Structure 1
Amino acid sequence: MPESVRGPHRSSRRRRGAAALALATAFGAVLSGCTSLHTVAPKSERAHANAKVVMAHQPVDCREAKCIALTFDAGPSRHTPQLLKILKEKKVHATFFLLGKNHIERYPKLVKRISDEGHEVAQHTWSHRRLTDLSDTEVRREMSRTQKAVKDLTGKEPTLMRPPQGRTSDEVSKICEEFGIAQVLWSATAKDYSTNDSKLIEKRILDQSSRDGIILLHDLYQGTVPAVPGIIDALRKRGYTFVTVPQLMAPGVPKPGAVYRP
């Protein structure tokens, strides 16, 4: 996605197109397994937890239920209030991977609202730079600024991060471990950066959805939020229960430094 969102100006559209192409390439690399980085399936984390753990404080046990996680990258944005309204009406909690520059700093009240309404607040770095292109110092700066901004607004530091464009490495993972952060990739994407067609976005997600999956959407694009009600309704008819990423792993917990991919 673009590193900043400045409205529907021509230069912004050009930047968005270039970013979309880069993200599409990265997405293909991540999901095709063309990385030597070790990844862990969320269900594996769940399976390795103590089988006798009682899920007293969890709304659902994904060891039994057919679970799927709905996640949103690169917000908050002007579309986020409508998304939060939909999620509240549908009684769904999602995971928000928030972006610092021009997002957290522009919509601080929305960050707090996301947290207050029971969603998982995670981070997506400060300025959406590819972490694999940065020095260790720059990676730490990208992450620490976002950690501090979220903690200042919600009282809690994120424990999850989605690397921009899904690009990560062993070096990035080591730094994540320092921050107490696990990385989360995805199994389904609508490529909503490339279309405003809400029906197409819905179809793409429904075609790719599976048990223990992680859905990637962006709440800053025009066509995405209108697609969410149809996605939720259709997947519920298929027997899915919507959970946050940590709930998907419970009674296991995300481990700092690990990279999770369904």
Structure 2
Amino acid sequence: MSGCTGADTTAPSAVRARPATDVQAARFGTVDCREAKCIALTFDAGPSEHSARLLDILKDKQVPATFFLLGERHIEKYPELVRRMADEGHEVASHTWDHKILTKLRPEEIREELERPNEEIERLTGRRPTLMRPPQGRTDDTVHAICRELGLSEVLWSVTAKDYATTDSALITRRVLAQSSRDGIILLHDIYDGTVPAVPGIIDALKERGYVFVTVPQLLAPGKAEPGEVYR
């Protein structure tokens, strides 16, 4: 699950400096991240058996998140959780169909990895994803070009707890808090045993520091992610 290439990326503040004309109002209330101290909580590779509990926590604390979902064995297995994510105001995005490393695939294979989850998410939620996170953050010019064709923007991260390597919830919390800063994009995985138990403490501690939680599109507003571009 580790990675993250040295691709050229655009920071949220740079996107906000270029207002778009068709950005929808935030579903968790209007937050202007040009003024507020915003941070985005994102979860990769679900849904899983832990996701319902995570959604309960987010609902209780009124925190929106962005979910980058896997297709095979996840969207297929938990369609009701995909619907719930969308219904409760979270951003539902793609983490590819089967977590294949896109930079190792032929162009037609990349398209399949990207199109299949989008079709399933649209079927379940009525809304086609516009955001994608490449597995291990590995991307290149070919991936960018295909994302541009498919109307997808790539979203990496600036904070990682490396929760794929530990079940220690306290350690996950400490790692997130140590790395968090304004406009941060936090990477977690709701498929590992230690992650969801860490989420309440992460939320409470960051709120105490004055952070406002937003989805990735909210973080970029009034700008908008452009297809084929990479954001971190």
Structure 1 residues 26-51: Cα deviation after superposition (integer angstroms, max 9, x where no partner)? 24xx3xxxx3x32111110001227x
Moved over 3 A (4+): none
Look up the SS of the partner of 2:163 in the other structure: coil
Structure 1 residues 66-105: Cα deviation after superposition (integer angstroms, max 9, x where no partner)? 0000000000000000000000000000000000010000
State the number of aligned residues.
Answer: 229
Which residue, out of 106, 109, 112, partners 2:77? Answer: 106
Q: Which has the higher contact order (CA 8 A, sep 6+)?
A: 2
State the AA in 2 paired with 1:47.
A
Structure 1 equivalent of residue 64 of structure 2: 93
Q: CA deviation at 1:136?
A: 0.3
Give the greater-gyration-radius structure (CA). 1
Structure 1 residues 197-249: Cα deviation after superposition (integer angstroms, max 9, x where no partner)? 00000000000000000000000100000000000000000000000000000
RMSD over equivalenced CA pairs, Å: 1.5
Unaligned runs of 5+ in 1: 2-22
Look up the SS of the partner of 2:85 in the other structure: helix
State the AA in 2 paired with 1:57.
A
% identical aligned pairs: 64
Q: CA deviation at 1:56?
A: 8.8
| Matches of 2:168 and 2:8, distance apart in 1 | 35
| Matches of 1:195 and 1:238, distance apart in 2 | 25
Is 1:207 equivalent to 2:175 in the alignment? Answer: no
Distance 1:38 1:86, change over 3 A: same
Is 1:177 equivalent to 2:172 in the alignment? Answer: no
Which residue, out of 19, 22, 45, partners 1:49? Answer: 19
| Matches of 1:48 and 1:244, distance apart in 2 | 18
Look up the SS of the partner of 2:43 in the other structure: strand
Structure 2 equivalent of residue 125 of structure 1: 96
TM-score normalized by the length of structure 1: 0.85
TM-score normalized by the length of structure 2: 0.96
Whether the aligned pair in 1 keeps the contact of 2:67 and 2:92 (CA below 8 Å) is yes
Look up the SS of the partner of 1:71 in the other structure: strand
| Matches of 1:174 and 1:106, distance apart in 2 | 30
